[in-house]
Amino acid sequence: MTDRTDRDRGREQQARGQGPFGSAPPLGTIFGIPLRLHWSAPLLALLLGLSLGAGTLPHWVPGRSQATYTLAGTIGALLLVASLVLHEGAHAVVTRRAGVKVEDMTVWALGGVTRMDRADRPRAALAIAAAGPLTSLLLGGIGLGAAFWLLHGPHWTVAGDVLLWYGWANLLLAAFNLIPAAPLDGGRVLQAALWWRTGDRARAEQASGRSGQVFGALMIGFGALVLLRGGAGGLWLMLIGFFVLTTAQAEARQSATQAMLHGVRLAQLMSAPVATAPDWLTVERFVEEVAGASRHTHLPVLDLQGRPSGIVSLRRLGQVPPASRALTRISEVALPIGQVPLAAPDDELTEVMERMTPGAPLRVLVLEGQELVGIVTAHDVSRFLQQRLALGGPR
């Protein structure tokens, strides 16, 4: 399971509902939090149900009908998927109780992802990270306890063995997630503990990222060894290891970037002067007279008083049919100023990004009073980072 924050780790997922392998449709809400189910989760339930009903249960409890095994296997698989939902739900509930905003949670084959803002205290981060594995441990204990009672009380062997399988599966899930390697929950626990001890969040993130890279590489190597010896499970281990490795690498890069941008103010990044135009211009005139004079893909527009009234993207302009460009005004296609991030030159970039809408492209209008003095986009940030690296900044 992973807890991904949209502001510091999830910006690569540009659309809401994007999970590790693509979009996930909404199913409703649980604990008041939107729940999404990736297509791989039902596939996992199907595979687990077939494995439990066709292999495990006939071996543990021989002599029953195939229909009994199939039904029991299906129930066991659904119980485990429900456990994944509760695991993620625990993360989300504790996050919300800590005063941190939760976007949604997505369940998929390798666990789940809870999209949230950053916790501003290590204690809160530690509680959020530990909530999921502790829930799995609790569910595992309940499953084993119920299995013991069914097997030694009413002697319901099929139901007892399903709960026995369910309990051990949850305990294994908790143990795996507590491995101290990002992006697993154990990596988040390690990160929060180091942050609490040292007071240095960036250093803690880099340490958990490195541990994730090492663990992911070891899993890939071990999975390849198992596969070469004829074990089909080696492919599954390699898949999980690859996910852990690549995610940890991305988080390490993101952490290093955040460290380089710490304390950087918009005045150091912004492009000025800014190419602007009145919002009453037609799209045709705007393209001919303004768009070509700027290196940015998002351009601010001004009202009759010369104040920013919105921002328009070249992509949006390109979507206007050529036959309509001479009749369509920029104000009709521009993003209104109320939906555009605004900041002052002395504001820090990281603080401004914390306030931005998840998944939105980075484009901030910089104002002094009501006067537009600059714009900051991803292009400006990239240029600043390249300059800092060229001058010997942290890598």
pLDDT at 359: 63
Residues 6 or more apart whose Cβ sits within 8 Å of residue 196: 122, 123, 126
Residues 6 or more apart whose Cβ sits within 8 Å of residue 233: 223, 226
CA dist 168 and 11 (Å) reads 36
Q: pLDDT of 178-203, one tens digit each?
A: 998 888 899 999 999 999 999 888 88
Intervals of CATH 3.10.580.10 along the chain: 266-390
* 88 annotated active-site: yes
Q: 266-390, what's its fold? A: CBS-domain (3.10.580)
Q: 12, 88, 288, 348: which is the annotated catalytic residue? A: 88
pLDDT at 172: 92
pLDDT over 90 (residue 135): yes
Sheet of strand 26-30: strand arrangement: 2-5, 111-116, 102-108, 33-37, 26-30
Question: Is the N-terminal amide bond of 133 cis, ω within 30° of 0?
Answer: no
pLDDT interval class at 91 (50, 70, 90): very high
CA dist 305 and 253 (Å) reads 43
pLDDT at 3: 54
CA dist 163 and 76 (Å) reads 7
DSSP string computed for 101-152: -EEEEEEETTEEEEEE---SSHHHHHHHHHHHHHHHHHHHHHHHHHHHHHHH
Do the Cβ atoms of 195 and 245 come closer than 8 Å?
no
CA dist 11 and 8 (Å) reads 7
pLDDT at 24: 66
Q: pLDDT of 261-297, one tens digit each?
A: 878 999 998 988 877 889 999 999 988 888 777 777 8
CA dist 348 and 167 (Å) reads 48
pTM reported for the whole predicted model: 0.70
Q: pLDDT of 310-349, one tens digit each?
A: 999 888 888 999 999 999 999 999 999 988 889 999 998 8
